[in-house]
Structure 1
């Protein structure tokens, strides 16, 4: 089973979400660790190749976890947030992109 690497404040953000959202995200992260896909996700090609966004709904609210799981050693959680508008904010996309760039730089020899 893969480990999980949380980038930036993503773990703190998840820990501060409502209990139902935390439980749903935890379940989906477990699926990723086991090599399965989350129940609801989409590719985030604008951030990077292999980056995906997990979609979770709880009590009428939408939550997102942007991650990279295309490596054998770990699921890399780049960013987590509550989605409050139809479109993902430029700030949330920029945070995920910056963390993916850092991850990519660290993984290269």
Structure 2
């Protein structure tokens, strides 16, 4: 099936990312949902979506939202043209500055490696 250029790419949730995302406050879901929609259309929201360092290039993106004194994150990859893959969604609880906690980075890394293994195994 051929996708038209003006149609959004599918959004595919990895692991528990959708369940975690759905636990966010509705305002956060709405704001992040718009950013994810832009990604599906091949665009990037300039103020809330930033490249997540340490993943070799600009294919892993972190969406940042704050609400009611809390920080929320969703991480997706556009590494593959067939879809936007949401790797992780979490409430950031680190009290050590702005760094993403290591446990969250490790989970993102694992889900990305699993995705790469799946995609390259099919080709």
Under a length normalisation based on structure 1, what TM-score does the superposition of the two structures give?
A: 0.91
2:21 equivalent in structure 1: 14
SS at match of 2:53: coil
Q: Does 1:32 align with 2:39?
A: yes
Q: Which has the larger radius of gyration?
A: 2
Root-mean-square deviation (Å)? 1.4
Give the 3-state SS of the residue equivalent to 1:30 in structure 2. helix
Is the 1:47–1:96 contact (alpha carbons within 8 Å) kept by the matching residues of 2? Answer: no
Q: Name the residue aligned to 1:59.
A: 68
Cα separation, 2, equivalents of 1:21 and 1:31: 16
Identify which of 88, 91, 110 aligns with 1:98: 110
Which runs of no fewer than 5 residues in structure 2 stay unpaired?
1-7
Structure number with the higher strand fraction is 1
* Unmatched segments (≥5 aa) in structure 1: none
**Contact preservation (8 Å) 1:48, 1:100:** no
Q: Which has the higher contact order (CA 8 A, sep 6+)?
A: 1
Q: CA deviation at 1:48?
A: 4.5
Count of aligned pairs between the two proteins: 109
- Contact in 1 for aligned 2:74/2:88 (Cα 8 Å): yes
Q: Could you list the per-position Cα deviations for residues 35-88 of structure 1 after superposition, in whole angstroms to 9, with x for gaps in the alignment?
A: 110231222231344111111122222111111013221110000101122321
Tell me, yes or no, if the aligned pair for 1:48 and 1:97 is still in contact at 8 Å: no
